[in-house]
Structure 1
Amino acid sequence: MRSESESYRGYNAWGRAILQQEDILQRERYAASGTITQNNKVVEASGVLGYFDIDEQAQQAGLAWARAWVDSDG
């Protein structure tokens, strides 16, 4: 799993790329998810947001979800 984080409006937003490869002959794909933490505690976490061919795209999707959650509920 690869992740990227940023500080956003008093929260830490995380975008995660989770490798999804059931068979060695399949191409690599990445599931995107997002997590919001504050004071080292999980505030909210998404389920799988989608699947991407590039890990950075999955991470960015997770970060976008986390920012949107903070903007609407945080």
Structure 2
Amino acid sequence: MQTEKYRGYTLWGHAILQQEDILQVERFAASGTIMRDTKVVEASGVLGTFESEEDAETSGIAWARAWVDNHG
């Protein structure tokens, strides 16, 4: 998980391993969560799948930043 502070919110980027068979290449589903203080403000669904955990987390953070820019 990646996290960052942004405009008074805490943003989380999540990577969820998507691998049904050990012979498959690892893929990671991305999602994002926005919190203010200790409360969840908004959470995304699956934003897409990525080949790396870092890319998935970065996508989640980017979604959260865009949400804050449009709603915050």
TM-score normalised over the length of structure 1 = 0.95
* Runs of at least 5 residues in structure 2 that lack an aligned partner in the other structure: none
Q: 2: distance between equivalents of 1:11 and 1:38? A: 5
Identity %: 67
1:59 aligns with 2:57: yes
Question: Which residue matches 2:38?
Answer: 40
Higher relative strand content: 1
Within 5 Å, which residues of 2 pair with 1:1-74?
Answer: 3-74=1-72
TM-score normalised over the length of structure 2 = 0.97
Q: CA deviation at 1:24?
A: 1.1
Aligned length in residues: 72
* Runs of at least 5 residues in structure 1 that lack an aligned partner in the other structure: none
Other structure's SS at 2:45 match? coil
Other structure's SS at 2:32 match? strand
